[in-house]
Chains A and B, each alone.
Chain A
Amino acid sequence: MRLSFWEITPITLFVIFIAPVALVLYSLTGEYSDNWAHLYEYVLTGYIINTVYLVAGVSILVSIIGVGTAWLITNYNFSGKNIFEWALILPLAVPPYILAYTFTGLFDTFGTANNLIRDVFDLGREFTFFPKVRNVPGAIIVFSFTLYPYVYLVSRMAFINQSRTMLEAGRTLGLNKFETFYKLGVPMIRPAIIGGLMLVIMETISDFGAVDHFAISTFTTGIFRTWYGMYDIETAKQLASLLLIFAVTLILIERYSRRNASYSNAMSLYKPLFLTKLKGIPNTLAFLICFTPIFIGFLLPVMELLYWALNYKLDFFNEKFITTAWNTFYLALMAAFLCSILAVIINFSIRYKSNNYLKVMSSFLTVGYAVPGLILAIGVMQMLTYFDQSFVSEFSNFILTGSIMGLVLAYVIKSYALSSSTIEAGYQRINSRVDDVARTLKTSGWALLAQVHLPLLKTSFLTSMLLVVSEVIKELPATLILRPFNFDTLAVYTYIYAAEERMYDAAAPSIAIVLVGLIPIIILTRMIRTSRPASRD
């Protein structure tokens, strides 16, 4: 059998992308140490209960915030709408652990917020107004308000490209505004929502920083406790494998549930959007619904960080900062561009070759996102050192491990899930008849991709770049372990201080992360806004 470019490329990428994950899974074939008995008897149940509770809470809250705000922004005109449209993405620039630190700084017994209430109402020291936040509900809020943009972005993109005709038919048949939303609008974009939700879930289960700060024992904190405390990385990897299996199961269930459904528009007829203008109470409500997530997920932490930075440490912004910010920025752009291109190629191959094996393979490419960052980073590192020791160093002095190229490769592997889910959602909305027409005209694969699909995928491509850029800017574990000597990114600076819980010192680099992250967010959202086919609203 002769394989074409559209089969060889995805298979090659599959092998490289899956290798680090396979190295983690490989631990399952090894020995099971006595530590398992200990884990099983004393802590595992607690880890699982907390993790499930966390995932359920975050999923519900994130769906409400993400889909609700996207629907409002796409269909209505209300006060502040033009700002909310892009500002709703801002929390992407805030890593969950930063919001966790902000929360404890504000709401701990002697935190800023409680002290303020005591001062204003002249109450005693024993009086505490705000509930404790170092618990699972607190963590649910932290994750939901930093991660909802994943759902918002894909929902917004899907709503923008949604056929008006069907929604209008719904209204004509007597559905009210709310029914149109949840009976037609939401079900039609279900794959997009679930795609976004998957990312949120994977990021939640694999997070260490925020839950560790709140001292909540989750599956992932358990993995690190086993590794760091019991010096048992094998058992830690076996635990991580269970997380992987959980993620794969989720993905399979999701695929199975929509195996026969098609979500592309019946008619590629795009009417310009007519936005309903809201007045009075609905206007205020819409404003509040959009403002609250931005306030909690972005304004609150940024204000607290600014306060810390201004009071304690400004000398961070020197010439070294420029180098560091530049390092961060170009690494992020490089990884984002590569990731998005690869996602397009793989998704195109699946469609073009309508090969079921490729389809199944591609869904596994994203599972790495569910592994705690450091564990995946170790997989990537082992793969790179293997390459180095077996052939790369034979040909040159060049060593992949600890090179910029190795680092970018690690980012691409880690963030591929972000690109893939966005591009896949984009492809689902391109009617397959477009391809049929192209085939009838004997168009080559390259021409179909470059001249037909890419222009239609512009929104998805930009969204994918945006997601990867904001991910890489925040990325830490792979950066720490794989970077060259004397090479820092902004996240490394934040870590160096945050590791010692010196949050005042970490504030300035954290703000820098947010600032550097804002540039692509603003540019790309402008491009996304004007990308609806056949309309400029």
Chain B
Amino acid sequence: MNFITKLITILAVSFVTIASSFASEVNLYTSRHYDSDDALYSKFTDETGINVNVISGKGKALMERLASEGSSSPADVFITVDAGNLWKVQKDGMFQSINSSTIDSIVPENLRGPNNEWVGIAKRSRVMYYNPVNVSAEEMEGLTYEDLSNPKWKGRIAIRSSGNMYNQSLVSSLIANNGISATEDWAHRFVGNFARKPEGNDRAQIMAVANGEADIAIANSYYIGLMLSGKKGEEQQAAARKVELHFPGQDGRGAHINVSGAGLMKNAPNADNAVKFIEFLLSEEAQSHIVNNTYEFPMLESVASSDLIAQFGSGFKEDQTSVASYGEFNPDAVKLMDRVGWQ
């Protein structure tokens, strides 16, 4: 049958294509998916001649592939957008220490693994957005996450479901600082203040505040930049202009910080290239590429945030809680949210 012959040919061709590999390369498993990241990888290849091979996917699924492949894994670098995932891979002993004084000098200690197994490459904060029509700047002054359990906010808060990892990290950081029972007590009253059943993504919460469905939304910092940029359409741009950004806890611990980070695999076949790649991600060029495309905060101090996000105030006070603790307390956070009925 002609059809079968063709199929076999296709099969054979695919094998050959995949088998051919480049002399100098670095293999990434990543759960960060931004179009702009491809351009970044090309820059790296242009500068160093090292080809970047990518498999993108869900963080936890990639972690299973890493575990299952074990010592025969082709992966050099694992990149993810949640510190909890990095902590888990580190705890399972699948990373090795990154030996680079360049990296040590750039990334603060609370934003990397205990033995430099992984480092943050960009920062985001989980902040509050409010509608100045319904809430005054004075009311927001010094407001902390903890304050949102106050009955005065009843029916006024919008936040997404507890299945979301950013919420899980936020609650984990509260557990790290206040302990489980105090956090559970807080969460119980906090959930009672929701304006609606949690629905939609972070941007949907900001839209709800712009629409007047809620007065305060909790969402990641970079979303406002994304919405203001107009990349998400005029409707979202208009909505973003109606809201103000508040960095919580400025008189206390500071605003909750999470990272996009990269870790070096224990059995990395191209470990030297991998370190070069991570150093590149922390270079001025790569950092300004990241902040201007994703509106995250830079890890490198000499690079400025995008104007769209810097207008809300750069140099805000960051919570110094170690991001590694988010992973440690994540299971507790999820169970706690189940107990208080946070959907």
B-binding residues in A (CB < 8 A): 35, 38, 42-43, 104, 108-110, 125, 134, 212, 214-215, 217, 221, 224-225, 227-233, 311-312, 330, 333-334, 337, 374, 377-378, 381-382, 385, 388-389, 393, 397-399, 401-405, 477, 480-487, 492, 496-497, 499-502, 504
A231 to B59, CA, bound (A): 12
Assuming the A-B contacts A334-B10, A381-B68, A385-B68, are A501 and B18 also in contact, with contact meaning beta carbons closer than 8 angstroms in the complex?
no
How does the 8 Å CB contact mask read for B204-215 relative to A, with 1 for contact and 0 for none? 100100011100
Question: With A404-B15, A481-B65, A484-B18 as given contacts, are A230 and B334 in contact (CB-CB < 8 Å)?
Answer: yes
Cα separation A108 to B208 with both chains bound (whole Å): 11
A-B contacts, CB under 8 A, total: 138
In the bound complex, what is the Cα–Cα distance between A21 and B136 (angstroms)?
Answer: 57
Q: How many residues of B contact A (CB 8 A)?
A: 54
Contact status A480-B58, CB under 8 Å: yes
Question: Once the chains bind, are A134 and B199 in contact (CB under 8 Å)?
Answer: yes
Given A230, A374, A401, A485, which contacts B335 in the complex, CB threshold below 8 Å? Answer: A230
Q: Least Cβ distance of A397 to chain B in Å?
A: 7
Closest to A115 in B: B235
Measured in the bound complex, the distance between the Cα atoms of B19 and A217 in whole Å is 43
Distance, CA A502 to CA B339, complexed state (A): 31
Residue B233 lies at the interface, judged by CB distance under 8 Å to chain A = yes
Known: A480-B57, A485-B53. A217 touches B343 (CB 8 A): yes
Is B308 in the interface zone, CB < 8 Å from A?
A: no
Contact B58 A405 (CB under 8 A): no
CA gap between A146 and B35 in the complex, in Å: 30
Give every chain B residue within 8 A of A134 (Cβ-Cβ).
197, 199
Quick one: CB contact mask for B195-230 with A, threshold 8 Å, 1 for yes? 001111101100100011100000000000000000
Question: Quick check: A500 and B33 within 8 Å, CB to CB?
Answer: yes
Residues in B with CB closer than 8 Å to A483 are 55
Taking a contact as CB atoms under 8 Å apart, the answer to whether B203 and A381 are in contact is: no
Q: Is the C-beta of B69 less than 8 angstroms from some C-beta in chain A?
A: yes
Q: Which residues of B contact A374 (CB under 8 A)?
A: 58, 61
Please tell me if the beta carbons of B64 and A225 are within 8 angstroms of each other in the complex: no
User: When the two chains form their complex, are residues A389 and B61 in contact, meaning their CB atoms are under 8 A apart?
Assistant: no
Can you show 19 pairs from A to B with CB atoms below 8 A apart?
A: A38-B338, A134-B197, A215-B198, A228-B60, A230-B334, A230-B335, A231-B331, A330-B10, A337-B3, A378-B64, A393-B72, A398-B15, A402-B55, A404-B11, A404-B18, A477-B61, A480-B56, A481-B57, A483-B55
Query: Which of the residues B27, B54, B165, B203 comes within 8 Å of A228, measured between beta carbons?
Result: B165
Contact A501 B334 (CB under 8 A): no
Distance in angstroms between the alpha carbons of A38 and B336 in the assembled complex: 10
Q: Are A215 and B199 closer than 8 Å at their CB atoms?
A: yes
Residue of B19, B69, B207, B338 most packed against chain A (CB within 10 A)? B338
Contacting pair B61 A481 (CB below 8 A): yes
B10 touches A486 (CB 8 A): no
Task: Compute how far the CA of A485 lies from the CA of B25 in the bound complex, rounded to whole angstroms.
Answer: 12
What residues on A are CB-neighbors of B57 within 8 Å?
480-481
Q: Which residues of B contact A388 (CB under 8 A)?
A: 72
Residues of B within 8 A of A228 (CB): 60, 163, 165
Q: How far is the CA of A388 from the CA of B65 in the complex (A)?
A: 13
- The chain B residue sitting closest to A478, CB to CB, is B61
Q: Is B269 an interface residue, CB under 8 A from the partner?
A: no
B173 at the interface (CB under 8 A from A): no
What is the bound-complex CA distance between A486 and B21, given in angstroms? 12
B3, B72, B212 — which one has the most chain A CB atoms within 10 A of its CB? B72
Closest A-B pairs by Cβ, 7 of them:
A229-B334, A485-B53, A480-B57, A501-B201, A496-B33, A404-B14, A230-B331
Complex: chain A residue closest to B82, CB-CB: A228
- From 301 to 315 in chain B, residues with beta carbon under 8 angstroms from any chain A beta carbon are none
Say if the beta carbon of B232 comes within 8 Å of chain A.
yes
Given A221-B163, A393-B72, 20 more pairs with CB closer than 8 A: A35-B335, A109-B213, A125-B212, A215-B199, A225-B334, A229-B165, A312-B233, A330-B10, A333-B7, A377-B61, A382-B68, A398-B19, A401-B68, A401-B69, A480-B58, A481-B65, A484-B18, A485-B27, A486-B54, A502-B232
Chain B residue contacts of A233, Cβ below 8 A: 60, 64
Interface centre among B27, B68, B201, B233 (most CB of A within 10 A): B68
Please determine whether B338 and A43 come into contact, CB atoms closer than 8 angstroms.
yes
Contact partners of A42 in chain B: CB under 8 A? 335, 338-339
B contact residues around A312 at 8 Å (CB): 232-233
A229 touching B330, Cβ below 8 Å: yes
**Contacts A134-B199, A215-B197, A389-B72 given; does A229 touch B61 at CB 8 Å:** no
A403 to B55, CA, bound (A): 12
Q: From the candidates B53, B60, B198, B201, name the one contacting A486 in the complex (CB within 8 A).
A: B53
Q: Which residues of B contact A401 (CB under 8 A)?
A: 65, 68-69
Question: Which residues of A lie under 8 Å from residue B56 when comparing CB positions?
Answer: 480, 492, 496
Contacts of B331 in A (CB 8 A): 35, 229-232
A231–B88 CB distance below 8 A? yes
Q: How far is the CA of A484 from the CA of B54 in the complex (A)?
A: 9
Verify if B254 is at the interface (C-beta below 8 Å from A): no
Q: How far is the CA of A404 from the CA of B64 in the complex (A)?
A: 19
The reply to whether A485 and B55 form a contact with Cβ atoms under 8 Å apart is yes
Q: Which residue of A lies closest to B203 (CB)?
A: A501
Contact A110 B207, beta carbon cutoff 8 Å: yes
Residues B1-32 near A (CB distance < 8 A): 3-4, 7, 10-11, 14-15, 18-19, 27
A224 to B198, CA, bound (A): 18
Q: Which residues of A contact B335 (CB under 8 A)?
A: 35, 38, 42, 230
Q: In whole Å, how far is A221's beta carbon from the nearest beta carbon of chain B?
A: 7
CB distance from A296 to the nearest CB of B (A): 21
Instruction: State in angstroms the CA–CA spacing of A111 and B22 once bound together.
Output: 49
B208 to chain A, nearest CB (A): 9
* Chain A residues whose CB sits within 8 angstroms of the CB of B325 once the complex forms: none
B201 touches A231 (CB 8 A): no
